[in-house]
Structure 1
Amino acid sequence: MKTLKELQESLKKFLTEARDLCDLVDKEKRDFTAEERQKVAGLLEDAKKVKAEIKTVQDDEAMRKSILDLGEGIEIKDGGQNGNGHGNGRVKGAQFLAEAQFDTLGDAFVRSKAWQDWLKQVAPGGHIADSRKGISSPPLEFKRFGLFRKDLITGAADTSAGAFLMAEDTGIYEPLGRYPLTLRDLISTRTTTSDAVEFVRQTTQVHQAAPTAEANVTDYTGATGQVSGEKPEGSTTFERVTENVKTIAVWIPATKRALSDVGQLRGLIDQELREDLGEELEDQLLNGDGIGENFTGLANTANVLVQAWDTDLITTARKAITNLLVNGKQVPTAWLLNPQDWETIDLLQDLQGRYYWGGPQTPGQRTMWGVPVVQNFFVPQGTGYLGNWRKMVLWDREQATISVSDSHADFFIRNMVAILAELRAAMGVIRPTGFVEVDLESGS
């Protein structure tokens, strides 16, 4: 009887020959001849037969594996021997004691093929250099030496009927929830391959333009009636701004068992960690104080326009728009407001009890004085921002990544891993006067 590998090679041979013949016909742009058609059909028939044999062998191997798994913990010398003691060469029941044939667990470990193959990779000469760090051997499984034997019988043991009372796993996971992230959708986002970004910002504009009469003399002396025709010279100044790439990171510990036993857990961890990075990034974009590794957020950026409280919320908001148009020379793209402040504005009513902003039945995007309103949980209550949000730029150095390692403290010997999430980015407000910080509270 052919082995599984031999059968797979035969299947590959039949299919390759049939494919090559089809490729030849396609290359010559013609139809199959009767002989070629018959040959391909024969090859496919042979391939089907071999495929069926492969399935039979695989099913047999699966059955043998089930026998081995069920035989764990019992002493079966050689299930592959028939009644007269002669093995049939197929059923290897002796595998029940395959690991027990070694003197010790350590002996089985160092003599295992997986360990020896790995050792050849990291230590070709048989010695691991002291300078080599961060090595990690492959996990090797041993089911002998009583490592998985359960001698205590309790209602929760897997030899007791209690183990068969299992709750249905619905697959439902309900997290605590996160604040919606809205700011990054408003601002400009670019990428960088450097650890710092630079941009040039104009600090003064040219304002010297003036009507100029045509010259009436070739040699201007300043005498009465002379017109020099000299054009006014303009002047402007610039500043070069450098923003360094900053790292935002967070990690949590987990057991290796948790990662391997519950595949869904890692997905949840990835999601939680990434969302935590997103919240911190949003907070930094607005409120970073520029100290240490913090971004210099919009609230702490110099030369941002300010709109003081004036009469009431509606009046203050309208004056902020004028402030931005006149002093910032920018058309606003959105308001950014704390949800509680927007609730206050949304509930404003006139003297007849009618909502200024349409009430609860108003559909679509909410606006204030024609400018879209975006709610953000990281804007402090009592303060709002109006601006052309394209004038804030985020440069992605590396998008959020997740990595796992046991190279932390004593995690290796405790079967624990550190799951690390981090992103690297830089941000800059390229036009501070493109934004207005608005005071939404009287007397503040």
Structure 2
Amino acid sequence: MPPSLTEQRDEVLRLLADDSYDGDVGELLQRAETITGQIEQANQRDARLRALQAAALPASSGTQQRQQPGQQPDDGQHPAVSAAEEFVRSAALEHYRAHGKRGQFSVEYRDAPAGTVTTSTQPKQNHRVPGIIPQNPDYPLLVANLLDRQTSDGTTLEYMRDTSGPVTGGGTWNKAAVVAEGAAKPMSGPFTFDLITTSLKTCAHWVPITRQAADDNGQLVGYINGRLTYGLDFNMDRQILTGNGTSEMQGILPVSGINTYQPGSGNTDSKLITIRKARTVQELAQYPPDSVVLHPQDWQDIELDTNGIGAFRVISSVTEAGATPRIWGLTVVSTVAMAAGTALVGGFRLGATLWERQGVTILMTDSHADYFTANTLVILAERRANVAVHTPKAFTKITFAALP
């Protein structure tokens, strides 16, 4: 009978500890590595076996897979569509549960393309953006998804910001023209650019969860999607709009050089009309707008705006339930991340890019304060990102006139 893994391990341990051993040391080390791998594989197989034995299907389900509330069926063909699904489907969570929920582990979910992998022996380089590549916009109702979204490979972001002022005298930066044979060709401009260097910012928060809830995939999905991921998304939307660029991400509104529009003194234009005039300001800047972001109270005023006989001026959102809100050809994002009385019109994908170093990463641990003795775990969610506002003139800030 061949020796067991335990016997082989003991023999190699004895030979490694023998200072007088005169055999092939390289071959001995190789045997040690092989046996270590076999033991680890056996331990993993045992853990999977115990986890499988602990799982029970409902009597009426036959061979169908059990589906937890809030969890999409996993047939091996459908990728996880949220951080919560990625987390509850992960082998790391299965291993954590099988080993008594001790220590800490993490699972990362990305909704942007994955970046390259770096190691401790290869220093991280600043991620320098090679240029501005506008794309046709997609219109989910989140401020973050109005922007072009890309993945950064470094912790520092460098990009060029167009700081060219408006062309005076009714002129244009575009000097393209037909020229006679042999004549000098015109140069377009003027253009000025600043090199902007900034860092990617980490946004994170955590919530406590009981050990019993950690065994329930439905509750985990609820905690991760309903509290953690939503909190990160809302914070990102707010910072994209108003972040100070130092202790926070770079927001669009604080950037010098964006267009502004405010009705003049004594002007009582409605908010509906004000947005249309701000769109003209944006078009004259030669960066066509695609969306408008405003506070829910301001959007309410627009939707409830009526004419002299009490008929609603904006009717599409009223008659088309579930339709994407639009006004003057612009997609509307109504969010409390925007201050009341202010709005932002812009060509969002033309003007800014959201760079993400790290997608939503979910961590779970029992190593926090006295939570171990209280049978309580911690779930933490975090992401690293920042915004490159490379074309400020692609945006117009609106300040609505005060109502009489």
- Relative to the length of structure 1, the TM-score reads 0.51
Q: Does 1:378 align with 2:337?
A: yes
CA distance in 2, matches of 1:199, 1:388: 18
Report the counterpart of residue 253 of structure 1 in structure 2: 208
Report the counterpart of residue 435 of structure 1 in structure 2: 395
CA distance in 1, matches of 2:221, 2:198: 33
Q: What one-letter code is carried by the residue in structure 1 that aligns with 2:395? A: F
| Kept after mapping to 2: 8 A contact 1:196/1:426 | no
Report the counterpart of residue 426 of structure 1 in structure 2: 386
Report the counterpart of residue 267 of structure 1 in structure 2: 221
| Kept after mapping to 2: 8 A contact 1:188/1:394 | yes
| Kept after mapping to 1: 8 A contact 2:317/2:326 | no
| Kept after mapping to 1: 8 A contact 2:161/2:194 | yes
Q: 1:374 to 1:209 in 2, by over 3 A?
A: closer
Q: What is the CA RMSD across the aligned residues, in angstroms?
A: 3.4
Q: How does 1:3-152 map to 2 (within 5 A)?
A: 138-139=99-100
Q: What one-letter code is carried by the residue in structure 2 that aligns with 1:430? A: H
Q: 2:307 aligns with which of 341, 350, 372?
A: 350
CA distance in 1, matches of 2:208, 2:177: 72
Report the counterpart of residue 337 of structure 1 in structure 2: 294
CA distance in 2, matches of 1:189, 1:360: 28
- Relative to the length of structure 2, the TM-score reads 0.55
Give ranges in structure 1 of 5+ residues lacking alignment: 1-61, 63-136, 141-179, 217-228
CA distance in 2, matches of 1:372, 1:439: 19
Which has the higher mean CA deviation after the structures are superposed, 395-404 or 313-322? 313-322
Q: Does 1:316 align with 2:316?
A: no
Higher relative contact order at CA 8 Å, sep ≥6: structure 1 or structure 2? 2
CA distance in 2, matches of 1:266, 1:372: 33
Q: Does 1:237 align with 2:192?
A: yes
Deviation at 1:383, TM superposition (A): 1.0
Report the counterpart of residue 47 of structure 2 in structure 1: none
Q: What one-letter code is carried by the residue in structure 2 that aligns with 1:312? A: D
3-state DSSP class of the match of 1:316? helix
Q: What one-letter code is carried by the residue in structure 1 that aligns with 2:340? A: Q
Deviation at 1:209, TM superposition (A): 5.0
Q: 1:291 to 1:231 in 2, by over 3 A?
A: closer
Aligned residues: 255
Report the counterpart of residue 407 of structure 1 in structure 2: 367
CA distance in 2, matches of 1:201, 1:275: 31
Report the counterpart of residue 89 of structure 1 in structure 2: none
**Larger Rg belongs to:** 1
Deviation at 1:369, TM superposition (A): 2.7
Q: Percent identity?
A: 29
Give ranges in structure 2 of 5+ residues lacking alignment: 1-52, 54-97, 102-139, 166-171
CA distance in 1, matches of 2:178, 2:228: 64
CA distance in 2, matches of 1:318, 1:304: 17
Report the counterpart of residue 44 of structure 2 in structure 1: none
Report the counterpart of residue 31 of structure 2 in structure 1: none
Cα shift readout 1:86-111 (whole Å, capped 9, x = no counterpart): xxxxxxxxxxxxxxxxxxxxxxxxxx
